[in-house]
Amino acid sequence: MSSTLIAAPILLPVLAGTATLLFRRRRRAIGAGISMMSCAGLLAIAALLLARTNGAAPEAYALGDWPAPFGIVLVLDQLAALMLVLTALLGLAVSVHTALTGLDRKGWHFHALFQFQLLGVNGAFLTGDLFNLFVFFEVLLIASYGLMLHGQGAKRLTAGVQYVIINLVGSSVFLVALGLLYGVTGTLNMADMAVRAATLPDGDRGLLNAGAFLLMLVFGLKAALLPVHLWLPRTYACTAPAMAAMFAIMTKVGAYAIIRTATLIFGDAAGAFLLPAALATMVLGYAGMLAARQLRDMAAFGLLGSTATLLAAIALFDETAMTAALYYLLHTTLAAGVLFLLVDLVVGWRAVEGADIVPTPAYKGKIALGVMFFITAIGFAGLPPLSGFIGKLLILAAAQSAPLAPWIWAVVLVTSLMGIVALARAGSTLFWKSDTSPPIPASRAAPDYAEAAPVIALLALLALLAAAAGPITAYTQATAAQLFERQAYITAVLGTPDRSTAP
Amino acid sequence: MISMEFLIASAIGVLTAGGIYLALRARTFPVVLGLAMLSYAINLFLFAIGRLAVGQPPIYAKGLTDYTDPLPQALVLTAIVISFGMTALIVVLALRTFLETGTDQVDGKPDESPAEDQEGQP
Amino acid sequence: MYLVWLTLLPFIGAMLMPLVRAQGRSLQTLVAAGPAVIGLVMLGTIAPKVMAGEVPALRAAWVPALGLDVSLRVDALGWLFAALILGIGLLIIAYTRFYLSPKDDFARFLALLLLFQGAMLGIALSGNVLLLLIFWELTSLSSFLLIGFKNDKAEGRQGARMALAVTGGGGLALIGGLVLLGQIAGSYELADILARGAMIQASPLYPAALVLILLGCFTKSAQFPFHFWLPHAMAAPTPVSAYLHSATMVKAGVFLLARLWPALAGSELWFALVATTGLVTMVVAAAIALHRHDLKAILAYSTVSHLGLLTMLLGFGTPAAAQVAIFHLINHALFKAALFMNAGIVDHETGTRDIRLLGGLAGLMPITATLGTVAAASMAGLPPFGGFLSKELMLEEVWHTPFLGAQGLLLPAAVVIGASLSVAYSLRYLYGLYFGTRPDSFSQAPHDPGIGLWLPPALLVAGTVLVGLFPQTLTKGLVSAAAAATTGGTAPLFKPMLWHGLTPALAMSVIAVAFGTMALWQHRPLQKLWDSLALPDAKMLFERGLAGTIAIARALTDAVHNGALQRQLALLFAAAIALGAWGMAAVPFAAGTRPTLPAPPLAIIAWLMLLAGVIAVCMVQAQRFLSLIYISIIGVVVSLAFVYLSAPDLALTQISVEVVTVLLLLLALNLLPKQPPALSGTGRRLRDAAIGVVGGGAIGFAAYAVMTRAPLDPISAYHLANSKSGGGGTNVVNVTLVDFRAFDTFGEIIVLGIAALAIFALLQPASRGPSGQRLRAWLPDMPRSPEYHPMMFAVAARLLLPLASMIGIYIFLRGHNLPGGGFIAGLVFSIAMLMQYMASGYEWSTQRRRIDEHLMIGLGVLIAAVTGLGSLPFGAPLFTSWFDYFTLPLVGEFELTSAMAFDIGVALTVVGAVMLALKELSHVAQRAEKDEAHDDAPMDIDPAKLRAAPAAAEDVP
């Protein structure tokens, strides 16, 4: 009965989302309250699940009481739990931020869409069924369309058209891959597919590979890998920064799916093109940061680059690298999130409209913003004492034995420098250089400093991530070990391997 | 003698080709048509994955032994519904964007400027 | 444990500063001085142990996965460096108290200074190279903030950014180097690394590691060619220059060279890289220093030059040379910090730092003059001061060190040139300031400052004098202990003395002094010559390089991300094709053996229709109504295929979805351009067609390949077997949807619901802003039939409603056992409802509308969810279905299933979603007319304005 808790991260947002629809959809305050409570609840549940799965074997939950692989199963393992916690943390911060800054008042059904987005993300992390994964991808995507367009305006709408179209095509590719995989293996359950793929006649392997590679392409699209990364910078730069902060988790859903399917079913065959693509994307991302003329672009390209760094680590595909990757995943998601939230504060607080990187006259809260920006930049650029530094060290150390090691090292170190320079330039222009025009009249309302709470909380979290790096890396290490020891997962889902597909 | 399998496979191919071609147009409306066509192709593909069978509907009845594979059909149904929702959204979004910006080009470029440079050169 | 406190104290002090912000400066100074005082006491207490060669250490695990431990240790070298940091830091803080002008934020300055102090201590005491890295980067960050302290000045910002870029970049190289070093040595613990020098130098990775580490050290210690950032860091307040950029931070690089000496030094490569760099830096920087006019610039370049000297000595790789380096490190710290403070006083009193505008101050400010003179003399290496001793020993080493294997005069000659230049600029400093003609241009007559400003430098000067007079007693113990700690062996005999006979070294320094004096005497022509050389300005080069990099980055970014959707899609399709092909090609492919079905003529005809339809749509996509008709033909053909190939449910769904979609497109097209001009050129069309054909071929092949091979016992066999017994329905597809895979369906209706909500959110504001204007402008020229709601249509529609509803319910009920089900039923019903809207108009229908669609969607999803949850009370997992058979009079036996309730949820959501979407779309134009009053502000405005007028923002639509 208590195993139902595994499904809770999916059910809670559903109920919360529908509740915001039913209870007086015109009263935003109620919506905000429900939304924040739901996020807090999700955090609590995720924490429980993490505690429960920590050091334990994976645990399967058969929906509809149909035995796997015939029904749909949810699977809780250390990786899933980790991702759930991360999502809940980010979700809570963002929902509080939006409520404080009043973003949710700028359009319809914000909180419903937000909850459904969480539902999709959590579902993707929990499901053990490939087609069900597709469904949850669609849920989180269509919710993200709504959120991305929230607030509208010409630029956002135009960018939205592109974002939606590219992802619709992506979904089609996903279905083709699913078709191929079902066609040759005759199953949709991931664990079962892992078993069957191992014993597949050679003649069918080609189709299996094709399906696997197409799947990787779709996940690569979500994670914004060269050459299918082009959609990300514009989308994230054009949507409301707070939403971009939430979307920081979506690229990680792609990364998660790659980890899951590669470790469980397909093996590292995809690594051959994953690693070069990731390195190239890193260069493009940080070059974009250097090139950015306004903060939203800078943050968007930064997200592109840091996610690519994560994927490079994943593509190394061994236990040490995965340990590093999972720690860096935690860091980069939160760091990107806080960067976008901060951009939102800058845009909201400072005197001039827009997010251009230009000097401004003194305004209320400029110093405070400057300090926060400095700390955020340290976190994002991967400098001590925040967690990014440890993450990068872990990745470098893990890459040392890889065949492409010199390349990985060069790219990681050079791109880091690009990031530092870009952020230093932006920061000194925004907060040090003050333009000569007279200061803003005192009549202008002072910013509501409470709005900074989520940013400060996330920054504290980054510090905690560094301080507690010992236990956290221990957890990611165990998680990596669990991922590469796939039999435990298979047994958890199918029971003893031999009766895997007996009706 | 042409086989049913060949017809379906080639139909899928043709639909996909048309879909891709239309999806690569520069205005939203043909792109939407292209996506619709792609989804036809995908639905057929998913369905065909269950192998073809004539006169063996997956309606359980005593004595009957041969059925077509029901699972792909269920998948296709789900896929149809989802792609319906997506199509509806993109249609409305395209319209809304046209109303807001006055152009129906996917890159939001106004219609005055010459044709070629309105499309990025890949 | 006290080691931890020792390291943490400055940070704690920094934390305290904001608290005493309100208090007076003296209190703030006391608080800030606290850590240094306590720290010095601590060092004093452990001094005897450390000098005796003990190494107090502490180690606690932090990140075992990485090998990063909190590991601190104090050997003599660390002790010496820590003592320098704290001692000079103390004096600087005292000095700052009187130096900083009242309008500067004193508390913030001290906080940053303490932050830096802590970072430096960390470097000195780290026993783990990764931990050292962390403190290393922290020094870069804190120096960035200190240089930029006067951030309203452009040079302050640029200097800060440059310093960060150079030292930060070097820091990254150092990260690489130290991680490599750790990997080679198999541990990041300093003790282990130092013990494994031979093993490290034998490793093939040694050169890479060495180069990377040297990059880190040389950038930090401003070695040529990275020397240029240091002078620009002088934009910082003078105390910062004295502390960071002469005494401590710039010595971090040298310190690390000494720290890792046992592990890295001794190899050919080491000598070649380190000694040469040091030598070049020493000479070049000295030459520049001689020709600068800003006091701080002169001192800055002289610092660079002396750092070069230290680097060179360490580069020699002999214990003796290393020992001399340690000795000179102490001396340099003493006189250079004193000189900076001295320059600060002059600046403070006269208001200028340009040596050409100064002179003859000896009479006006005797104390300052005395201090400056002594310090400068020590810098010049004149007896009887500390500088002289270390220089003599240095020359001694140089004399009998073969340079790059070649014993010769090259090295001594170069060093003598460097030394002479050093003499020259030192003499120029003291002569130009305190003697010579006094310009009468001083605004107010300069005089000696208060004791607060001259006491700190005085103490340092006293130090340099005493070291000069009693080297043995004062420094022998410390230097030899530190040297021993540096080289990891026993220190050679240390015998600094003022008179050590007529040695080559003495000769060399005599020559140096002579040359130096001549150079000063002939300074004017030399200066002319120098200026005529027009050497490139490193700063300009740096800025230009950076600008160039950014230009490249921009070009790249704009070229790649040109925001064209076609490029994105083309790449996506191409990548899909390529990856699919790669996957296929990787392994041998076996064609299928499954017997194929013969195609009846009808099928072939249908196939031809489909082919024609596709081609037609592609051809006429400019005439949009026409293309709609063609594409619906395709839809019909596809549904027929489903019918023929035993998929009745698919056929039903496909056809009903078809109707709604076309309806939707019609409504949209109503407002879109009908026949826009084509955009793509022929080349573009051909390319796209090619991609399409290849893609189509690929997927067609894949489909054929799968269809023609026997299925590998698919899991659906189980579904067929258990549909009736376990799911209570004979329509396996429907049972799969509402039972086996109900969770998919659950997600599916949520998608549908979200789509509707998103559409609503999209269209609500459509009647405002630019789009509202367009709608209003567009309305009049819309062709209208004379009759707004045709009578016949309206009547037909209303008659149709109950009928359609009946059909809907029928389809719904049979769904579980025969083709049909909630989704199709929902569609049929909503189509009927929509006809009402179309026939009788929006008003009429909304008045008679019972329930709001948002509610309907919510309820639908909720019902489905509750059905899913319903099984929990019975101890069964979520979405476990239940069914049973009942008999009623008249009706006879019938079945009730929980799946039915689930299906109701599905139907509700479908109706709600479809109605909401199409209704919104159908009357968006009408609403534009009504909402004219609304404000036209775009919806994303900055929150500040929202706050200004919360009432306006309370409710958007």
Q: What is the ipTM of this complex?
A: 0.93
Distance from CA of C672 to the nearest CA of B (A): 7
Q: Which residues of C touch B116 (CB under 8 A)?
A: 681, 684
Query: Cβ of B64 under 8 Å from any chain C Cβ?
Result: no
pLDDT digits (tens, 9 = 90+) for C334-362: 999 999 999 999 888 888 888 888 888 88
Looking at the domain assignment, is residue A479 inside a domain?
no
**Inter-chain residue contact C647 with B57, CB threshold 8 Å:** yes
Tell me whether B80 touches chain A (CB under 8 Å): no
Which residues form the domain of A284?
273-467
pTM for the full predicted model? 0.91
Question: Taking CB atoms and an 8 Å cut-off, how many pairs form between chains A and B?
Answer: 83
Cβ-Cβ contacts under 8 Å for C370 (sequence gap 6 or more): none
- How distant is the Cα of A89 from the closest Cα of chain C, in angstroms? 23
Q: Smallest Cα–Cα separation from C423: which of C376, C465, C467?
A: C376
Would you state the pLDDT for residue C804? 76
User: For residue B64, what are the contacts with CB-CB under 8 A and spacing of at least 6?
Assistant: none
Q: Cα–Cα distance between C740 and C733 in angstroms, integer?
A: 10
Phi, psi of C888 (to 5 degrees): -120, 150
Strand partners, C897: C883
Q: How confident is the model at residue C389 (pLDDT cuts 50, 70, 90)?
A: confident
Check: CB of residue B13 under 8 Å from CB of residue B2.
no
Task: Please indicate whether, in this complex, the C-beta atoms of A161 and B86 are within 8 angstroms of each other.
Answer: no
C265 φψ region: left (φ > 0), alpha (ψ -120 to 50), beta (else): beta
CB-count burial class (<10 Å; 0-12, 13-18, 19+) for A198: exposed
Tell me which residue in B68, B78, B89 faces C759 most closely, judged by beta carbons.
B89
- The b/e string for A67-77 (b: 16+ C-beta within 10 A; e otherwise) is ebbbbbbbbbb
Q: What is the CATH number of domain B4-120?
A: 1.10.287
Q: What is the pLDDT of residue A1?
A: 42
- pLDDT per residue over C153-194, tens digit each? 888 888 888 899 999 899 999 999 999 999 999 999 999 999
* A40 vs C901 pLDDT, higher one: A40
- pLDDT tens digit sequence for C643-654: 888 888 888 888
pLDDT tier, C955 (very low <50, low <70, confident <90, very high otherwise)? very low
Cβ(C95)–Cβ(C239) under 8 Å?
yes
Residue C541's pLDDT band, with cuts at 50, 70 and 90, is confident
pLDDT digits (tens, 9 = 90+) for A251-288: 999 999 999 999 999 888 777 889 999 999 999 999 99
> C646, B54: Cβ pair inside 8 Å?
yes
Q: Tell me whether B38 touches chain C (CB under 8 Å).
A: no
The verdict on a CB contact (< 8 Å) between B38 and A172 is: yes
| Residue C337 vs residues A168, C98, C426, C663: alpha-carbon distances, Å | 66, 16, 14, 83
* Chain C contact set for A413 (CB, 8 A): 172-173, 175-176
Cα atoms in the Cβ-side hemisphere of radius 13 Å centred on B53: 20
Residue appearing with tokens 């130098």: C201
Given a cut of 50, whether residue A53 has pLDDT beyond it is yes
| H or E element, residue A284 | helix A271-291
State phi, psi for C71 to the nearest 5 degrees: -125, 120
Do C183 and A400 lie within an 8 Å CB cutoff? Answer: yes
CA pseudo-torsion sign C373, C376, C378, C382: negative
> Does residue A337 lie in a domain region?
yes
Neighbours of C416 (CB within 10 A): 20
Query: Does any CB of chain C come closer than 8 Å to the CB of residue A181?
Result: no
Question: Is A46 inside a domain boundary?
Answer: no
Point out which residues pair with C894 in neighbouring strands.
C886
Q: What is the pLDDT of residue A164?
A: 94
SS (H, E, C) C427-492: HHHHHHHHCCCCCCCCCCCCCCCCHHHHHHHHHHHHHHHHHHHCHHHHHHHHHHHHHHHHHCCCCC
d(CA A145, CA C762): 11
Residue A328 belongs to some domain of the structure: yes
- The answer to whether residue A397 sits within a structural domain is yes
Q: Which residues lie closer than 8 Å to A100 by C-beta, 6 or more apart?
A: A448, A450, A451, A453, A454
Residue C736: CA atoms inside 13 Å, Cβ hemisphere, count?
Answer: 26
What does the pLDDT read at residue C589?
Answer: 79
Q: Give the dihedral sign, CA A149/A153/A155/A157.
A: positive
What's the total number of domains in chain A? 1
Q: Which chains touch B (3 or more CB pairs under 8 A)?
A: A, C
Q: Between residues 293 and 352 of chain A, which touch chain C (CB distance below 8 Å)?
A: 301, 323, 347-349
pLDDT over 70 (residue A135): yes
Domain locations in chain B as residue ranges = 4-120
Structure letter (DSSP) for residue A264:
I
Burial C552-588 (b: 16+ CB within 10 A, else e): ebbebbeebbebbbbbbbbbbbbbbbbbbbebbeeee
Kind of pairing between the strands at C883-888 and A73-76: unpaired
Q: pLDDT band at C953, cuts 50/70/90? A: very low
Kindly indicate the confidence band of residue B112, based on its pLDDT and cuts at 50, 70 and 90. Answer: low
Burial call C849-863: b when 16+ CB within 10 Å, e when fewer: eeeebbebbbbbbbb
Residue B55, chain C, CB below 8 Å: the answer is: yes
Q: Which of residues 416-455 of A touch C (CB under 8 A)?
A: 416-418, 420-421, 424-425, 428, 432-434, 444-445, 447-448, 451
Nearest residue to C393 via CA among C490, C318, C333, C457: C318
**Confidence class for position B118, pLDDT limits 50, 70, 90:** very low
pLDDT band at C841 (very low <50, low <70, confident <90, very high): low
To the nearest 10 degrees (0 to 180), the angle between helices A486-494 and A469-484 is 70
- Whether C239 and C96 have beta carbons less than 8 Å apart is answered as yes
CB atoms within 10 A of CB A337: 30
Give chain A's mean pLDDT: 90
The confidence band for C441, taking pLDDT boundaries of 50, 70 and 90, is: low
Instruction: Judge whether residue A346 has pLDDT over 70.
Output: yes
Lowest mean pLDDT across A194-198, A302-306, B116-120, C609-613: B116-120
Could you tell me if C731 and C888 are in contact, meaning their C-beta atoms sit under 8 angstroms apart? no
- Residue A294's φ and ψ, nearest 5 degrees, are -140, 160
CA A331, A337, A343, A349 dihedral sign is: negative
Question: C residues 764-783 near B, CB within 8 Å?
Answer: 766, 769-771, 774-775
77-116 in chain B: CB under 8 A from chain C: 77-78, 80-82, 84-89, 91-96, 98-102, 104-107, 111, 115-116
Give the list of residues 6+ apart from residue A265 with CB closer than 8 angstroms, or none: A190, A193, A194, A197, A212
* Closest to C748 (Cα-Cα) out of A122, B90, A73, A138: A138
Tell me how far apart the alpha carbons of residues B120 and A167 are, in angstroms, rounded to a whole number: 19
Position A165: which residue type? I
The answer to whether the CB atoms of A154 and B100 lie below 8 A apart is yes
Confirm whether A221 is domain-assigned. Answer: no
As given in the structure block, the two tokens for residue C680 are 């793509």
Q: Which of C607, C715, C720 faces B58 most closely, judged by CB atoms?
A: C720
Helix (H) or strand (E) holding A62: strand A59-62
* Residue C152 with chain A: CB contacts under 8 Å: 432, 434
User: Residue holding tokens 């076609």?
Assistant: C566
Whether A188 and C715 lie within 8 Å, measured CB to CB: yes
Residue A440 in any domain: the answer is yes
Q: Which residues pair with C72 in a beta bridge?
A: C58, C126
Contacts 24+ apart (CB under 8 A), C883-886: C883/C727, C883/C728, C883/C729
Contact C340, C246 (CB under 8 A): yes
In this complex, the residue of A142, A157, A172 whose CB is nearest that of residue B42 is A172
Instruction: Supply the pLDDT for residue C945.
Output: 40
Q: What is the 3-state secondary structure (H, E, C) of C885-933?
A: EEEECCCEEEEEEHHHHHHHHHHHHHHHHHHHHHHHHHHHHHHHHHHHH
Q: Do the domain assignments include residue A63?
A: no
B68 touches chain A (CB under 8 A): no
List of chain C residues whose C-beta atoms are within 8 Å of the C-beta of residue A396: 175-176, 179
